[in-house]
Amino acid sequence: MHDRITVEESSGNVFADLGLPNPEERLAKAALAFRIAERIRTRRLTQTQAARILKIDKPKISPLLRGQLSNFTIRRLTRF
């Protein structure tokens, strides 16, 4: 007994595939946040150091690193 798994090819934007609003903006924000987090990791910065460099409050670093981006605009992420 084998169950068949239905596979659907991605459009290249997971947010669009999930039917979420503003998928292009979400994808852009995710890409920017990924690059910011990558730089923080490669430079081995603490959250305090990263907050100082990015000129934001330390409590905002954790959501940024976890991809919780609703409180960040593309403009703000680009500035980082």
Q: If the chain, 80 residues long, is cut into consecutive pieces of 10 residues, what is the mean pLDDT of each piece?
A: 85 95 97 97 98 96 96 96
End-to-end CA distance of the chain: 53
Q: What is the pLDDT of residue 8?
A: 85
Is CATH 1.20.140.10 what the domain over 14-79 is classified as, yes or no? Answer: no
Sequence spans of domains, the chain: 14-79
Instruction: Supply the pLDDT for residue 1.
Output: 67
pLDDT value at residue 3: 86
pTM of the model: 0.84
User: Can you list the pairs that 35-41 forms with residues at least 24 positions away whose Cβ atoms lie under 8 Å?
Assistant: 36/64, 36/77, 36/80, 37/64, 37/65, 40/65
**39, two tokens:** 């730089």
d(CA 16, CA 65): 22
